[in-house]
A and B are shown apart, each in its own frame.
Chain A
Amino acid sequence: MRIGVLAAQGAFLEHIAVLRELGVNTVPVRLPYQLDALDGLIIPGGESTSIRRLMLDYDLMERIKARARKGLPVWGTCAGMILLAKELSEPDETLAVMDIKVKRNAFGRQKDSFETRLLISALGEDPFPAIFIRAPIIEKVGDKVDVLARLEDETIVAARQKNLLACAFHPELTKDTRFHRYFLDIVAGSG
């Protein structure tokens, strides 16, 4: 199994560190040829405008879109979730592959960033430590999308649509590897 982590900008080294700890062959992706021979791709947290700029400039937007449509498992965390969405509350270019509507900076500025523990049944009974940093939320999901996690007020913060996985928080900033293992199960075809 070979997992790529988009390394345009953001917390890509953190994802790579978790995957390597789990014994997974991991490669940073900055140019289109690096997408070849991948079994899965993670789009990390960072600034979505910055990541989008670098994806457009190096022809990654169309290439990733095509691969995702053909079934490549792709997991977007925070900025990555924004880039997967078909619709944004303030329109901007995205990969537009996942049937979710996303609102950026939904909680406000950095002073509103927070930590909490989420019940995510797909990951087992223990609550998952979730760090939300200037985080987006999912405002709406399509019929084929499964909601994986909600805040106490019902706000959707993680979802899955077949090969596509999205979360508004940062599993790569915690020591809990369950979300990464969940994605690896999707890649292995057993999730």
Chain B
Amino acid sequence: METGTWKVKIGLAQMLKGGVIMDVINAEQAKIAQDAGACAVMALERVPADIRAAGGVARMAAPAVIEAIMKAVSIPVMAKCRIGHFVEAQVLEALEIDFIDESEVLTPADEAHHVWKHDFKVPFVCGCRDLGEALRRIGEGAAMIRTKGEAGTGNVVEAVKHMRAVTEGIRKLVDTPEEKLAAIAVEMRAPLELVQEVHKTGKLPVVNFSAGGIATPADAALMMQLGADGNFVGSGIFKSADPEARAKAIVKATTHYQDPRIIAEVSKNLGEAMHGLEIKQIPPEKLLASRGW
């Protein structure tokens, strides 16, 4: 029996596919998410929209918050550590969290290094804006990738941009002659073996969810049709008028993403979606997606 292997790490991500991972800040929200059909929850002290509003330094959630959520549900529980803050990651592993999100939504702790994730038995998910960033994170040991989008905005435009960039990056790599892959790997600052693997298989070696701005069932289905393996929904649920109904609707739209009649049906009577932000009106230094490298 061997624990913490690469297959076991990427395997958990595979079990989450086709599902919705919801941000929650307490046991009550976690139960609502589980009952609605979430395949996992992300335990946080504040959802990204509130982190954005509060400003200051955003850190790992307090262990008491995380433990209360872990106790409340039977589905996997994830939690975020700051980029490069390997001790927050160690603490989360000690708490026996199921998945660690090394996340740009929190304030980065290291401006040059991400966590070396191979050192951990718990799997990591990391954000990316394009294929190179995805492969750099996988090289460091990320067992799952999510496109970053722009968290806490309720605006899906950045999520779409990043998902399309990953897909386009893969397409180009498949069409690249083999002898040019080494040069591309240098340009991408990504491990050559991973570049060669994507060239050969035409897909990422790990699961890729979408994140950052999904607020409606149609947003969730859009990301699935663009090639996401599943969706993270942060502020979009518990910042809306009727979180329970919206959570259920987004779960259904993620499963039935190819069926517009079902998406139409589940989009009825949800009350108001979260208030959205226009990306161009956010000062560049307040954009979360540009954190990480």
Given A30-B256, A114-B1, verify A50-B251 contact (CB < 8 Å). yes
* A–B complex contacts, Cβ < 8 Å, 7 sampled: A50-B39, A54-B251, A54-B252, A110-B97, A111-B121, A133-B12, A134-B12
Write the A41-69 contact mask toward B (1 if CB under 8 angstroms, else 0): 00001110110011001000000000000
User: Which has the most chain B C-beta neighbours within 10 Å: A12, A47, A79, A131?
Assistant: A47
Return chain A residues, CB-CB under 8 Å to B96: 108-111
CB distance from B70 to the nearest CB of A (A): 8
User: Which has the most chain B C-beta neighbours within 10 Å: A11, A13, A53, A113?
Assistant: A113
Given A113-B12, A115-B5, A115-B7, verify A134-B19 contact (CB < 8 Å). no
Segment of B30-38, B59-67, B153-161, B181-189 engaged in the interface with chain A: B30-38
Say yes or no for A116: interface residue by CB 8 A criterion: yes
| B75 & A115 in contact (Cβ 8 Å cutoff) | no
Given A7-B255, A111-B96, A131-B8, verify A45-B122 contact (CB < 8 Å). no
CB distance from B95 to the nearest CB of A (A): 10
| B2 & A46 in contact (Cβ 8 Å cutoff) | no
Given A49-B75, A50-B38, verify A9-B122 contact (CB < 8 Å). no
Return chain A residues, CB-CB under 8 Å to B18: 7-10, 12, 46
Return chain B residues, CB-CB under 8 Å to A146: none
| A134 & B252 in contact (Cβ 8 Å cutoff) | no
CB distance from B24 to the nearest CB of A (A): 15
User: A111's contact among B16, B74, B93, by CB below 8 Å, is which?
Assistant: B93
Q: Which of B98-113 contact A (CB under 8 A)?
A: 98-99
Say yes or no for B260: interface residue by CB 8 A criterion: no
Say yes or no for B40: interface residue by CB 8 A criterion: yes
A114 vs B11: C-alpha distance when bound (angstroms): 10
* Known A47-B19, A110-B8, A133-B15; further 12 A-B contacts with Cβ < 8 A: A10-B19, A30-B259, A47-B76, A53-B36, A53-B251, A54-B37, A54-B251, A54-B255, A109-B96, A109-B97, A134-B15, A170-B11
User: B39's contact among A46, A57, A109, A132, by CB below 8 Å, is which?
Assistant: A46
Return chain B residues, CB-CB under 8 Å to A184: none
User: A110's contact among B7, B36, B98, B255, by CB below 8 Å, is which?
Assistant: B98
Point out residues on B near A: beta carbons under 8 Å: 1-5, 7-8, 11-12, 14-19, 34-40, 74-76, 93, 96-99, 121-123, 248, 251-252, 255-256, 259
Q: Which of A85-120 contact B (CB under 8 A)?
A: 90, 104-105, 108-116
| A173 & B3 in contact (Cβ 8 Å cutoff) | no
| B15 & A45 in contact (Cβ 8 Å cutoff) | yes
A78 vs B76: C-alpha distance when bound (angstroms): 14
Say yes or no for A14: interface residue by CB 8 A criterion: yes
| B15 & A10 in contact (Cβ 8 Å cutoff) | yes
A112 vs B3: C-alpha distance when bound (angstroms): 6
A7 vs B256: C-alpha distance when bound (angstroms): 9
A164 vs B216: C-alpha distance when bound (angstroms): 39
Return chain B residues, CB-CB under 8 Å to A131: 7-8, 11
| A114 & B99 in contact (Cβ 8 Å cutoff) | no
Return chain B residues, CB-CB under 8 Å to A10: 15, 17-19, 39
A116 vs B1: C-alpha distance when bound (angstroms): 5
User: B75's contact among A50, A90, A133, by CB below 8 Å, is which?
Assistant: A50
Return chain A residues, CB-CB under 8 Å to B36: 53
Return chain B residues, CB-CB under 8 Å to A7: 18, 255
| A133 & B39 in contact (Cβ 8 Å cutoff) | no
| A173 & B11 in contact (Cβ 8 Å cutoff) | yes
A12 vs B251: C-alpha distance when bound (angstroms): 16
A135 vs B5: C-alpha distance when bound (angstroms): 15
Q: Which of A66-89 contact B (CB under 8 A)?
A: 78-79
The 4 A-B residue pairs with the shortest CB-CB distance, nearest first, are A53-B37, A110-B98, A47-B39, A113-B8
